Amino acid sequence: MTKTLLISSSLTKAEKYELLLPQLRSLTEVETDTTANFANIAAALKETFNWWWVGFYLVKNNELVLGPFQGPIACTRIRFGKGVCGTAWKERKSLLVSDVHAFPGHIACSSSSVSEIVVPIINNKGDVAGVLDVDSERYNVLDETDIRFLEKICSICGKLM
């Protein structure tokens, strides 16, 4: 089991993700508990990219409920179709929001967050079982490369549920 992440800070974003993916796989394949695995995935993403906030919201009783995360305290519940997270759930698609102030209905858990990506997690029944939410306090940091790799990470997550 990988216990220390091996990712040099001098690499490009895509190179970091390429190194991170197999380490996430080996970290999670030896553990069956979803909370434990999602907690380590959130920690690994925070350690690698140092985003403002990164974590999971999981579908429980037809609501998104805060799951494992790294960063400041956050809203605990988000309804279907609400905010960026609830919209990604409803539309079953990844959303890149370059400026949250321009997103109608954005839920401001923190005024420091200005851009974000939310990727749905599909479980083995084909249902959205949660979302991965990445928030940045900077503009022009999150992009299509993040979406591409975060979707791969969410594909791993979907198999861990």
**Single-letter code of the amino acid located at 26:** S
Give the count of residues interacting with ligand SME (CB under 6 A).
Answer: 14
> Is residue 116 at the binding interface for ligand SME, with CB under 6 A as the rule?
yes
DSSP string, 111-150: TT--EEEEEEEE-TTS-EEEEEEEEESSSS---HHHHHHH
Task: With CA atoms as reference, report the closest residue to 7 among 45, 55, 40.
Answer: 45
> Is residue 46 at the binding interface for ligand SME, with CB under 6 A as the rule?
no
Instruction: Determine the straight-line distance between the first and last CA of the chain, rounded to whole angstroms.
Output: 20
CB of 27 to ligand SME, least distance (A): 23
> Is residue 120 at the binding interface for ligand SME, with CB under 6 A as the rule?
no
> Is residue 59 at the binding interface for ligand SME, with CB under 6 A as the rule?
no
> What part of residues 125-154 is at the interface with ligand SME (CB under 6 A)?
133, 135
Binding region for ligand SME (CB under 6 A) = 53, 74-75, 78, 83-85, 106-107, 109, 113, 116, 133, 135
